[in-house]
Amino acid sequence: MTELALIERITARNPVRPGTLLGIGDDAAVLDVGGRAVVTHDMLVEGVHFRRDTAPLASIGRKALATALSDLAAMGAAPGEAYVQLGVPDDLDEAGCAELAGGLAAVAAEHSVAVLGGDVTRAPSLTLAITVVGHAASPEELVPRSGAHPGDVLAVTGELGGAAAGLLLLQRPELGDGLDAGVAERLRARQLEPEPRLEAGRALASCGATAMIDVSDGLGGDARHLADASGVEIAVELERVPLQQGVAAVAEAAGVDPHELAVGRGEDYELLVTLPQERVDGALHAVRATGCGLTRIGAAREGTDVLLMEPDGSRRKPSGFDQLRG
């Protein structure tokens, strides 16, 4: 497949966006931008972030764009444009390129994102470097990681642990013996095709969220980022952490603590958020209206640590994940 044909596959369903003065095909895209632009990136590399023997190419394309959009969700921004840089190995044929491009194009269409440019080159391993630009409808509503205050409530959208359990099922299918087929499928889907919580992110931003981050490194690691940026202690009550259905069963089959899947490993792409006490009820209502749950799991306090607290009052060490060392 030529570079042009591949780009056309990705951009086939581009929405018409006002302010796009020059799209694909020139040296650069040109946008007429008013207000604030939110810019974020994600790079996925075969053998590091995914394997083609366990992940279908369409899912790889979907996940690459979805995880980049998840960073916009964590700012409370509305998605705008995307730019896709692809490194294509020699053994990826035309049908494979089309499948990958189809996954990217589908997520773009679902979230009204226009793919306005990028680059395609040969590479020894399949590589996707995605840039996403979002826009703030109401600029003062963008939510950084750094705004949590002692006394704020800590909450998380949706359910955790599913991506890690799904990965275990992909690597060791026998762990799913006895698991309901639909439950197992939803765990695998959470790993392969995570959903960016864009609507929930905007709802939380407009409900007064003080700090927000998406759970990509694991609840422990991402709570650490939030605590460090805000200069607070984050205390998580482990028994309150909502686990996706089937996580406990897979954890038991694998011989690990189910909270290890939710806290120590990442990729659920839910939103971890702090809110002033008096804004929590409104946020619960607003997030549920977007079709996902919001659960109180702890609090921000004076201090600098991250505490993972067991029901008996004992504490556990949070584990994180540094992409370079991991």
Least separation in angstroms between CB 35 and its own copies = 7
Least separation in angstroms between CB 175 and its own copies = 26
Q: Which of 144, 58, 54, 147 is nearest to 99 (CA)?
A: 58
Q: Which of residues 43-72 bind its own copies (CB under 8 A)?
A: 43-49, 71-72
Positions of E strands within 238-314: 271-275, 294-301, 306-309
Q: Which of 86, 96, 83 is nearest to 11 (CA)?
A: 83
Give the one residue of 138, 171, 277, 323 binding its own copies; rule: CB under 8 A.
323
> Toward its own copies, which CB reaches closer, 30 or 289?
30
How far apart CA 256 and CA 250 sit, in angstroms, is: 9
Residue 75's contacts (CB-CB under 8 Å, 6 or more residues apart) are 38, 40, 134, 136, 142, 143, 144, 201, 205, 212
Under the binding rule (CB under 8 A), the answer on residue 1 touching its own copies is: yes
**What burial letters (b/e) apply to 144-164, b meaning 16+ CB within 10 Å?**
bbebbeeebbbbbbbbbbbbb
Give the one residue of 64, 66, 75, 209 binding its own copies; rule: CB under 8 A.
75
Under the binding rule (CB under 8 A), the answer on residue 209 touching its own copies is: no
Give the one residue of 12, 51, 95, 119 binding its own copies; rule: CB under 8 A.
119
Backbone angles phi, psi at 204, to 5 degrees: -65, -40
> Toward its own copies, which CB reaches closer, 211 or 250?
211
Token digits for 28? Answer: 């650069």
Least separation in angstroms between CB 256 and its own copies = 24
Give the one residue of 39, 98, 189, 309 binding its own copies; rule: CB under 8 A.
39
Under the binding rule (CB under 8 A), the answer on residue 136 touching its own copies is: yes
Give the one residue of 11, 14, 131, 210 binding its own copies; rule: CB under 8 A.
131
Least separation in angstroms between CB 113 and its own copies = 14
Select from 75-83, 168-176, 278-286, 291-299 the region that touches its own copies (CB under 8 A): 75-83
Q: Which of residues 86-115 bind its own copies (CB under 8 A)?
A: 86-88
How far apart CA 22 and CA 18 sit, in angstroms, is: 11
Give the one residue of 116, 167, 200, 219 binding its own copies; rule: CB under 8 A.
116
Cβ–Cβ under 8 Å, residues 60 and 48: no
Q: Which of residues 165-194 bind its own copies (CB under 8 A)?
A: none
What element of type H or E holds 157?
strand 153-157
Under the binding rule (CB under 8 A), the answer on residue 266 touching its own copies is: no
Instruction: Show the site string, 210-249: x = touches its own copies by CB under 8 A, - = not.
Output: --xxx--------------x--------------------
Classify residue 13 by its DSSP letter: T
Under the binding rule (CB under 8 A), the answer on residue 35 touching its own copies is: yes
Token digits for 220? Answer: 């422990």
Give the one residue of 78, 105, 115, 120 binding its own copies; rule: CB under 8 A.
120
> Toward its own copies, which CB reaches closer, 31 or 184?
31
Q: Between the CA of residue 33 and those of 13, 76, 113, 117, what are the distances in Å?
A: 22, 18, 15, 16
Least separation in angstroms between CB 209 and its own copies = 13
Least separation in angstroms between CB 181 and its own copies = 34
User: C-alpha dihedral over 44, 308, 314, 240, to 10 degrees?
Assistant: -110
